[in-house]
Amino acid sequence: MFQRAAESDLQVRSSGNALRGGAAKIRLCLAEPFCIIAGAVCGADIRNHACHLTACNTVLRPDGRQSDKNIRENTMNRRTFNKIITGAGLGAGLAASPSFPLAASAQTARAESPAVPYKISIMLWTVFHHLPFEERLEKVAEAGYHAVELVGEYKNWSKQDYRRYNHKKRALGITFDTTAGFKHGIGDPAVRPLFLEELRGMFTVCDKLECPRMIVMSGNVVPGLTRAEQHASCIEGLKRAAELAEGKNIEILLENIDPEENPRYYLTSVAEGFEVIRAVNSPQVRFLYDFYHEQIAEGNLIEKLEKNIDLVGVCHIADVPGRHQPGTGEINYTNIYRKLVELNYDRYVAMEFHPTGDPVATLRTARQWAQNPGRVACRLS
């Protein structure tokens, strides 16, 4: 998405007339995803972006850092840029235009960026594995996140552990927003009693974690059952789960898994998952839309999101292939984030990827992108 940001050349003209000596050429260097040319030049519809101008051929890596290759940077601050455009005869016109705020810093860009309605989390299993739990939370906070999803990290915790880790997360301003870790799925009626017993135990775990959401799975394809029978089992299992959850501050999320990751998994289709959730018809049962899995399984991500936004409880974020950060693969996360904003989605999106670079820096860049989906690299001509 941002990899060749510095290759955009802006031909600046005033009132249709070429500038003295020909059109002024300005090369852009996007030092951060939100640090981009702002405003409207000669009618170009590029609004409310910060400006960082440079003479270079910098390449941004997907982890947000600059490549060391072919860097020859000569950054111009706001005063220098104003001198240049004033000398070119453009200063008065641009200064008078309220649609062309020349913000000089990334901090200003952040402050002026419109707030997105959704919240941003991290699925903790993907990062900082070698660190003690409290230090993992510190790294999450360092990357600027205030929510964490868990997958069984708590299984061997003592009462003292729960108290200590809850104290740590509160001190860091972090919440545990979702957890997972069921052994049994909802797609096999033969194991439903075991699933419901496990569910009751998870209610207690979620209460200890101060966590309001849990992820359940369909489980694998059951030999001897038709797909229609397993579909019905998923609906019935979730209806029973909703009955047990009634009156509790708990939301149950059903997740899809792609057939490449688990060829035996039953619910590989987001479309079928939404059918199941609609049939359950409970405000405490929603769908976890994993864009990574669905891109591999069936694609067509945005249309299904738009048609079923009322059933989405959480979104998971990773790029294809490789389960790395957005911008490393084929999914257009700028368009997905924009659609979530358009749909006023106000729940969590959780980063569930393996960073290719420094984890903290990569997570920070991914968060900034999600928080500023309109600030994307573009080519001006």
Model pLDDT for residues 264-309, shown as the tens digit of each residue? 999 999 999 999 999 999 999 999 999 999 999 999 999 999 999 9
Give the model's pLDDT for residue 28.
36
In a domain, 376, yes or no: no
150: left (phi over 0), alpha (psi -120 to 50) or beta: beta
In a domain, 141, yes or no: yes
In a domain, 147, yes or no: yes
Domain harbouring 161, CATH code: 3.20.20.150
Q: Is the pLDDT of residue 70 over 70?
A: no
Domain finish residue from 96, 113, 130: 113
Question: Average pLDDT, stretch 45-54?
Answer: 33
Tokens of 238: 């979730």
Q: Which is more confidently placed, 46 or 273?
A: 273
Question: Average pLDDT, stretch 173-178?
Answer: 98
Which residue bears the tokens 């998870």?
202
Q: 270-279 — which CB contacts under 8 Å span 24+ positions?
A: 270/294, 270/297, 270/298, 270/304, 271/298, 271/304, 272/231, 274/304, 274/307, 274/308, 274/311, 275/231, 276/231, 276/234, 276/235, 276/238, 277/238, 277/311, 278/311, 279/235
Same domain, yes or no, for 109 and 127?
A: no
pLDDT-above-90 percentage for the chain = 68
Q: Which is more confidently placed, 114 or 305?
A: 305
DSSP state of 184: S
Confidence of residue 375 (pLDDT cuts 50, 70, 90): low
Mean pLDDT taken over the chain:
78
Same domain, yes or no, for 335 and 239?
A: yes
Same domain, yes or no, for 219 and 251?
A: yes
CB 246 within 8 A of CB 284: yes
Same domain, yes or no, for 339 and 209?
A: yes
Same domain, yes or no, for 73 and 142?
A: no
Range from 36-40, 169-173, 240-244 carrying the lowest mean pLDDT: 36-40
Question: Average pLDDT, stretch 205-209?
Answer: 97
In a domain, 377, yes or no: no
pLDDT-above-70 percentage for the chain = 68
Same domain, yes or no, for 61 and 193?
A: no
Vertex 124: Cα angle to 121 and 130 (nearest 5): 145
Question: Average pLDDT, stretch 159-173?
Answer: 98
Could you tell me what percentage of the chain is helix, strand and coil, using 3-state DSSP and rounding each to the nearest 5? Answer: 35, 15, 45
Q: Which is more confidently placed, 254 or 378?
A: 254
Structural domain that includes position 30: 1-113
In a domain, 381, yes or no: no
Q: Is the pLDDT of residue 255 over 90?
A: yes
Which residue bears the tokens 């999106």?
349
Amino acid at 320: V
Same domain, yes or no, for 25 and 172?
A: no
In a domain, 84, yes or no: yes
Question: Average pLDDT, stretch 307-316?
Answer: 98
Q: What are phi and psi of 91, to 5 degrees?
A: -55, -50
Question: Average pLDDT, stretch 198-218?
Answer: 98
Outline where DSSP puts E strands in the chain: 9-12, 24-27, 119-123, 147-151, 175-180, 213-216, 251-255, 285-290, 312-317, 348-351
Same domain, yes or no, for 262 and 131?
A: yes
Confidence of residue 121 (pLDDT cuts 50, 70, 90): very high
Q: How many domains does the chain have?
A: 2
Q: Is the pLDDT of residue 17 over 80?
A: no
Same domain, yes or no, for 38 and 148?
A: no
Q: Is the pLDDT of residue 232 over 60?
A: yes
CA distance 305 to 77: 41
Same domain, yes or no, for 250 and 133?
A: yes
Range from 69-78, 129-138, 211-220, 282-291 carrying the lowest mean pLDDT: 69-78
Tokens of 155: 């299984």
Same domain, yes or no, for 100 and 219?
A: no
What DSSP string runs through 106-175? HHHHHHHSPPPSSEEEEEGGGS-TTS-HHHHHHHHHHTT--EEEEESTTTT--HHHHHHHHHHHHHTT-E
Domain finish residue from 68, 89, 113: 113
Tokens of 151: 């997958």
Domain finish residue from 60, 80, 113: 113
Question: Average pLDDT, stretch 88-101?
Answer: 34
In a domain, 237, yes or no: yes
Same domain, yes or no, for 85 and 201?
A: no
CA distance 305 to 318: 16
CA distance 165 to 178: 15
Vertex 240: Cα angle to 236 and 244 (nearest 5): 165
Residue among 230, 243, 255 nearest 316 (CA): 255
Tokens of 381: 């001509």
In a domain, 292, yes or no: yes
